[in-house]
Amino acid sequence: MDVDDYEKMLSKASDVLAKATVSQERLKIPKAVIMEEGKVTVVRNFMDIVEMINRDPKEVSKFLTKEFGIGMTIDGRRLIINRKITEEDFNNKMEQYMNVYVRCYECNSPDTEIIKEARVSLISCKACGAQHPINMSREIMIDRDEIRENKKYTVTIDSIGKSGEGRTKLYGTSIIVPGVKKGQTVKILVKKIRDNTAIAEVVKD
């Protein structure tokens, strides 16, 4: 593969990431509007939030019930929580939900949907085309290292893009590897890096 081919692949990858950025800018999740009514907490704009992230309100309520360890009821467009909680507590739990059930695991776009394949729930990204099984233990990682051009790394391919290219991520950088299969562990040589996306090729040990 020559330099022009790498440049074309990087340009295409940059377009995908640009779409993901637009999606994030478009989808501004409203913060919870909370008020206390006696011994309960009412999230007045609950349906506004779940409609914005395109998720089933019952599933979101189920997640929150488990996280807070207390019952809650959907009442019209409101969510009634059977004890007092703060806006900060609620918004932190919603951030956890977004991280596990909404944001793309590859490009971080919130423009996703949940689909099922062979009884496995997947997050399918409309921005980059990636699909990943829902990871309940997913955390936001701060990457202290970085990958470099002309260096070799061992990676496992997480997904396959729309054009058949392998995709994975290392140290916060998205990596595109042609000619590989999902789940395959390979040694790669990074050829080009642009806009936090790298093009690599498989090399022999």
For the chain, which domains are there? 34-102 (3.30.70.3150)
- Give the Cβ contact number of residue 130 at 10 Å: 25
Q: What is the pLDDT of residue 136?
A: 75
If we measure between CA atoms, which residue out of 6, 197, 179 comes closest to residue 108? 197
- Give the Cβ contact number of residue 84 at 10 Å: 13
DSSP 70: S
Q: Mean pLDDT lowest for which of 57-61, 74-78, 178-182?
A: 178-182
pLDDT higher than threshold 90 for residue 80: yes
Q: Please, which residues bridge with residue 160 across strands?
A: 166
The per-residue pLDDT for range 1-18, each reduced to its tens digit, is 554 555 555 555 555 554
Q: Please, which residues bridge with residue 153 across strands?
A: 188
Question: What are the structure tokens assigned to 120, written together?
Answer: 């496995």
DSSP 188: E
pTM above 0.75, yes or no: no
Question: Measured between alpha carbons, how far is residue 75 from residues 47, 80, 86 in Å?
Answer: 10, 7, 19
Confidence of residue 43 (pLDDT cuts 50, 70, 90): very high
pLDDT higher than threshold 80 for residue 89: yes
Q: Which amino acid is at 144?
A: R
| C-alpha–C-alpha distance, residues 55 and 194, integer Å | 33
| C-alpha–C-alpha distance, residues 66 and 68, integer Å | 6
Gyration radius from the chain CA atoms = 20
Look at 60 and 142; give whichever has higher pLDDT.
60
DSSP 149: T
Q: What is the pLDDT of residue 142?
A: 38
pLDDT higher than threshold 70 for residue 68: yes
The per-residue pLDDT for range 131-146, each reduced to its tens digit, is 889 887 665 443 445 7
Q: Are 189 and 203 in contact (CB under 8 A)?
A: yes
Q: How many CA atoms lie within 13 A of 203 on its CB side?
A: 12
